[in-house]
Copies of this chain bind each other. A is one copy, B any other.
C-alpha cells in the first residue's frame, strides 16, 4: 500500500528538501508524487533541460524509503513556449485565443506543443531509466478538465480526418447527421465546422467523442515513451473531478493505461458541483464510491490509484468543512473500492500563486497538527488492511451501464432540458449500494456475463450490439432494469423510426405510444398497483401499452393517468423492468428491492442509515465486509451471513455497532 503526497520542492533548496523528507517520514509516508505542472523548472528555456535536481530529489527520497510517483509537467506550458508560439493556446468557440495565465490552455493538437511535450517526457524517461525509485508514472494532469475544447485550424483538420475515417463518404455523414434540413450538407470533409453546444446534435456528439480521443492519444504517446524506457513501471493518468468528469471517456483511457488513477475530492468536486448547484450540499458516501467505481470500471478487475486525495479545504467555494476523521474514512473507502495507493494533495501549502489557499498535510510553518496526525494514522491502518485483505477487490453481481457518448448526447439539453444523466445514474447506484450490494459501472460493450442485475439508466444511444447483449443477459436469466430515455437514438443521435429501438421495446414487452419531457418545476403522481402507494415522478414520461409485461405502477395524474409507468416482463427466463419516468428515491428503492429479489442478489450485511457504506470485497485472502460509518452517531449493522472480526478472527453476532465516524473490517465465514 502506497501512502504519499504531492511534493513541489524548490529545486535549489537542499536543506529544505532534507527537512521535508524527515517530515514525510514522521507523517508515515512511503511515496511522493512529483513532476506535474513544473515544466519550466525542468526546461527553463526551449531545449535546455535541468533535471538533475529532480534526479537528486528522487534519489534522496529513495534512500529515505520514499518511492516516487513521477508525473510529466505538460499540463502547464512554460511562458517561453507561449511567447514562441502564441497559437499553441486554445482558440475558444467564440474565436478568441485564451491568454496565458491559467493551465490546461494549450491545444493538444498543436504540433509545436506536442513535439515539446513528447521531448520533455523523453528526457524524464531517460533521466530515470535506471531508477528503482520510480513506482509509477502519470502523464500530464487532469486531461479534459477546465474548458478543454479548442477550435483552432489544427483541430478543424484533425476532426475532419477523423470523420473521414469514421464515415468514408460525406453522403453517409450528411445522412447520419440529418444535414439536409437547415441546409447544412457538406460537400467534402474539409467543409466540416467544429460544432458548439446547440449546433447539430450529431456533429456535437462526434466532436466531443473526437476530443476525448485526442486526449487519450496524447496520453498514449507519452505512455509509449515511458514504456520503452521503464517497461516495468505502470503508466497512468489522473482523472479529474472525482470521476465526474465526463468529457474524457474513462473506458478508452483505460485501454491506454496500465492502471487507472483518480483525483478524489469528495467535498471539493462532486456530482453537485457538476451541475452548478449553489445550495446546501449533503454528502453521500455513495456519491464518492460511485466516482471510484466509475474509474475502476476503466480497467475492470484491477486496483487503481488515488493520485490526489483531499486533505482539507480546496481552492473553490467551500460548501462543507472537512471534519476530523473524514479523510481517514475516505482513505479506507478508497482501499475498499480497490485503491492500492493514495497521494494526498499537497504535502506542503503553496506560499503564493494559484493554489495558495489549498490546505496541505502540513501548514506553512511545517508544524505537525491534526491533519498530519490523521495521515500518519491512515498510513498505518491502510497498510494493516491490505495485509489482511491482500488484493481483495469489491464483489459486484450488479452493474450499471454507462456510455460516455450518452452523456454527450444529453449535453445540449434537447431531449429534456432539466435532465442530468449523472444525477440519474447516481440515484440508481445509490439505491443498490444502500442495500449493501456491490455495483460496478461498466461500458455497455464490456462483458456482462458476470452480472445478475443490470441497470440501464437513460442509455439514450444504443446499437444492435447493446441490444443483443441485453437480450443474451435476459436469456441467461439476468434481471435488467431499463429506465426511460434508453434506446431513443443510434450512436449518431439518429432516430430508429419508432420512438425506441424495437428490440428494446420487445425485450421489455411494451409498445411505446408517446413521450413527454417536462421541466423540473413540475412533477407527476405515480401509484403502485400492489398497495396503492403514491409517489412522484417527472422530467420524462413514456406512455406505453403492455404487450408481454405486467404493470407494477401507473401514472396517477395528467391525461395519461392510469397508463403504466413501471412494467415487468418475466420468464425470459430473466426479468426485464421498464421504468418510464424519472422516479423519486423512494420509488427507485422499491424497484431495486424487487429487482434484487428477481436476480437473487443479496448483501452479506445491511444497514438502514444513508451515511453508512457496506462494501464486500473478495480476494485470495478470503471475503470481507468493510463497514464505514460516515455519520456522527454510532450505527448498527445486521449480518445475514456468519462473520468474524477481521483482525482477531473472533466470530461476531448478527448485529454489530460501528462507532461514529469510524469503520470496521469483517471476514465472512463460510
Contacts and interface: CB of A to CB of B under 8 A. Distances in A.
A17 interface: no
A285 interface: no
A352 B176 contact: yes
Nearest to A363: B499
Contacts of A525: none
A620 interface: no
A498 B365 contact: yes
B38 A352 contact: no
Nearest to A101: B199
Q: Would you call the interface of chain A mostly helix, strand, loop, or mixed?
A: loop
Interface string A515-531: 11111011000000000
Interface in A371-417: 413-417
A280 B558 CA distance: 15
A365 B513 CA distance: 11
A315 interface: yes
Interface stretch (A185-193, A611-619, A644-652): A185-193
Interface string A340-361: 0000000001111111110000
A80 B187 contact: yes
A76 interface: yes
Interface in A211-246: none
B321 A541 contact: yes
A493 B180 contact: no
A492 interface: yes
B364 A497 contact: yes
Contacts of A324: 559
Contact of A321 (B38, B319, B518): B518
A444 interface: no
> Which among A183, A353, A364 has the highest number of chain B CB atoms within 10 Å?
A183
Contact of A183 (B41, B280, B350): B41
A178 interface: yes
Contact of A317 (B73, B315, B417, B516): B417
B183 A77 contact: yes
Given A178-B350, A313-B516, A363-B498, A191 B41 contact: no
A483 interface: no
24 contacts: A10-B180, A38-B183, A95-B96, A101-B193, A101-B200, A178-B351, A182-B353, A182-B354, A200-B353, A201-B352, A201-B356, A279-B521, A280-B522, A318-B516, A318-B518, A319-B518, A321-B541, A349-B495, A351-B497, A352-B494, A352-B495, A357-B415, A364-B498, A366-B497
9 nearest CB pairs, A to B: A178-B352, A178-B353, A317-B417, A76-B183, A101-B199, A352-B494, A39-B183, A364-B497, A365-B498
